[in-house]
Amino acid sequence: MEAIRKTKPNYVQRPPRWSITADTAVVDGCGRQLQTRLWNISKGGFMAECEEKLPIGAEVVIDLPGRGLVRAEVRWALGWRFGAMILGDAERNPANEA
């Protein structure tokens, strides 16, 4: 009998997600501040729901609890929910904090 070969799965394992319910806001590419609710977060991204639909590929800035402002890219969207990959920390703009 031939030995059964063990193969690695052909998918990339995701980092663990932590469930969260937190209200925050995203700033879209047009500079609009949109109300957002976070549903889960991981080391490299998050899932949230926004008051407006965001297009796939859009770059946004979001204030993540415990981390602060980060830049993120929308990777998928379904209605008002979207998932985004964190690109890095965002610079604070004092003019937007009035």
Tens of pLDDT, residues 25-62: 999 989 999 999 999 999 899 999 999 999 999 999 99
**98 pLDDT band (50/70/90 cuts)?**
very low
Count other C-beta atoms under 10 Å from residue 86's C-beta.
18
Q: What is the pLDDT of residues 70-80, one digit of tens each?
A: 999 999 999 99
Cα gap 91→38, rounded to integer Å? 21
pTM across the whole model = 0.76
Q: What is the pLDDT of residues 3-35, one digit of tens each?
A: 566 666 676 777 778 888 999 999 998 999 999
Geometric angle at alpha carbon 47, from 13 and 33, rounded to 5°: 145
Asked whether the beta carbons of 28 and 34 are under 8 A apart, the reply is yes
- Architecture of the structural domain at 18-91: Beta Barrel (2.40)
Q: What pLDDT, on a 0 to 100 scale, did the predictor assign at position 91?
A: 76
